[in-house]
Amino acid sequence: MTLDGAAVAGVASGIAVHSANNVITGINFANFSGGGIEITGAFAAGNEIFNCQIGVASRNEIGILIQGGAASNTIGGRTASTRNIISGNGVASLFRAGEPRRTTFTATTSGRTPRARTR
């Protein structure tokens, strides 16, 4: 499934998470003027992002934005089916504002092109 923000006016994110224990998987995010995925706030904990492509087909301004006290989130996994590709976004693939405590980034490919490095 693809979420495409090309027709959205103003600054918008593909999915904005403000609560706990959400799982985002198998989605392609493209053309958002904000983050492809935004995880924000003290209640945004225990969320998981797996098997997504963020900015690969068409760029977002930011791939994943984590801010506002979001903590203990998991981005990617160790198996091929749980890895994310976060690439080709404008400002950053991953942007952490403040200190997103205990957020884990595992085997996620990120960078300016789909052939970027794996973290």
pLDDT score of 38:
95
Cα 32 from chain centre: 12
pLDDT truncated to tens, each residue of the chain (119 aa)? Answer: 999 999 998 899 999 999 999 999 999 999 999 999 999 999 999 999 999 999 987 889 999 999 988 989 999 988 888 999 988 888 888 887 776 567 777 756 665 554 444 44
pTM, two decimals, is: 0.85
**Contacts (Cβ under 8 Å, ≥6 apart) of 34:** 11, 12, 13, 60, 61, 62, 65
Instruction: Tell me which residue has tokens 């996994």.
Output: 77
Residue 1, burial from CB neighbour count under 10 angstroms (0-12, 13-18, 19+): exposed
